[in-house]
Amino acid sequence: MEECVYLIGCRAVGKTSIGTALARRLGYEFLDSDALVVEKTGASIAIVVSEEGWAGFRKYERQVLSELSGRKRTVVATGGGAVLHREIWSRLKEEGRVVWLTADTDILCERLQKDARSKSQRPSLTGKDVCQELREVLIERRPYYQELADYTVDCSTLTLAQAVGSVEKVCRLAEKE
């Protein structure tokens, strides 16, 4: 397997944790699109959003995703809204595999509420309660995740090691197709 693995899914599903461990296991480079936006702008996501709005953040996110084209042997954890840049994904899908990480909404809400970094790293999209917002955003984005995903891994009850193993397995099975 030489191509990129793109992990998509909503916030708090584990894209960064799973992606980091998967890259280590495969001997791949690991990139996080949100971290690349922070690097590009020199500011936290919260600051970018407060100064330029979500449209400004999405502009940087689109640039970062475009720059990923042509990479090999890389695992990329994308931001939850990266699927909104549909014009870029056709090219990325040609060059790699897209794995949608899912989890039960209640589990995701619990993770977000327990994570002290949530507000600074994950600014609100709507200003609503984090769980209400998550449910609404998932309803809106689910069709995009479904359309883009080559494979889906439900991480609701998996340990990190099990989730990494499941993602690796679907990617390796795809090699044989």
Average pLDDT across each block of 10 residues of the chain; the chain has 177 residues. List them in order.
Answer: 89 95 96 96 92 94 93 94 91 91 93 68 66 90 95 96 95 63
> Which domains are present in the chain?
4-160 (3.40.50.300)
What was the pLDDT predicted at 22?
97
Provide the pLDDT for residue 112: 84
Dump strand ranges (E) for the chain.
4-8, 29-32, 74-77, 96-102, 151-154
**pLDDT per position as a tens digit, 49-92:** 989 999 999 999 999 999 998 899 999 999 999 999 988 998 88
- CA trace torsion 136, 93, 172, 157 (10° rounding): 0
pLDDT the model gives residue 10: 93
pTM of the model: 0.91
Query: Would you state the pLDDT for residue 175?
Result: 59
The whole-number pLDDT of residue 172 equals: 76
What single-letter DSSP state applies at residue 82?
G
Q: What contacts 81, CB < 8 A, 6 or more positions away?
A: 58, 61, 125, 141
